[in-house]
Amino acid sequence: MFAIRVGRSAPSTDFVRRLTCLTGIGNPEPQYANTRHNAGLVMLDLLRQRLDSDGSHSYKVCVNAPAKYCHVSPDLLLIRSDGDYINLSGKTVVPLWKRLPHRDAVTHIIVHDELSLPLGKVQLRKPGTSLRGHNGLRSLRSHWGSDGFHRLAIGIGRPHDRDPQVVSDYVLSRFDDREMSILATQSIEKALEQLQSLL
């Protein structure tokens, strides 16, 4: 069951704890596990490992959505959208966001793949900045009714050939061991550095 308590449930005058919600988007797994288009899910898992140092918090399955979630702390929630296609992310993710209490006290950060950044690079972009043609982000904006969420862009590089079919094949191809190592070393460190002001 997807449920979360933020702050206290007593009178409205009580302090409301701010929540940061990191949402990783990708295509259905295990079919598309460790593909470039699922870099957001790869990074979300790496972040969970680093932020949950004692390994005591695991993902739980959402009952009413093709996704998983993990409470790393009272202030930090991870949502792993891994059961539907990335271009339909809004359909899966936004109903979960809407179930969070005190929605005005939630900072949303989408973790996603980014063709325009080379592998090993990470960029945190503010709400309202360009979606750079990412269909998963477009879906989220459409269902949320705004683009009021941060984007943590995980660089995957771009093939030299810009032909759409070549690009499609590229993003659906799997990272090799060397590339996974870069994500687990260079990319994760840059992600943690970028997120420092929001976590």
Q: Are 58 and 87 in contact (CB under 8 A)?
A: no
Kindly report the backbone phi and psi dihedral angles of residue 65, in degrees, each rounded to the nearest multiple of 5, phi listed first: -155, 150
Q: Are 198 and 107 in contact (CB under 8 A)?
A: yes
Catalytic, out of 37, 108, 134, 150:
37
Ranges of H-type helices in the chain: 39-51, 89-98, 135-144, 164-171, 177-182, 188-195
How long, in residues, is the chain? 199
Q: How far apart are CA 197 and CA 17, in angstroms?
A: 16
Q: Which residue has the tokens 């929540």?
A: 19
Q: Is 37 a catalytic residue?
A: yes
Q: Are 88 and 37 in contact (CB under 8 A)?
A: no
Catalytic residues: 37
